[in-house]
Structure 1
Amino acid sequence: MLGWSIIFLIIALVAALFGFTGIASASAGIAKVIFFIFIVLWLIAVVANAIRGRGPKP
């Protein structure tokens, strides 16, 4: 999911470079949404592992 966020961010940067402001703002918005979804899912996973008492795998 983080990979998709980075892809949309790159699309936004390239579109902004060439002056396509509509595409750039849409891609940046999608990248933000996907990034925040990734962060929320990551936090849920960390809390779930902490509650179960498991540590990270070596």
Structure 2
Amino acid sequence: MSLDRSPQDVSVAAGTLDAAESQITLPSHHIFLRDKASWFEVPESDGANRWDEWDSNDNM
């Protein structure tokens, strides 16, 4: 995935990481939560910003 909005940010598909061999940084944002899989639980205590849907007036 590549977005040109914030060149200083890097996006990595979480499924490509091997937690046993890497130090994974906690996410700073959880986006499109309305569309997440029903079985996926987003932790409440990670301090990340949350959005249910895209809001073009909001600065993610």
The answer to which structure has the higher helix fraction is: 1
Q: TM-score range by the shorter chain?
A: under 0.3
Q: Higher strand share goes to which structure?
A: 2
- Normalization by structure 1: what TM-score? 0.24
Instruction: Give TM-score scaled by structure 2 length.
Output: 0.24
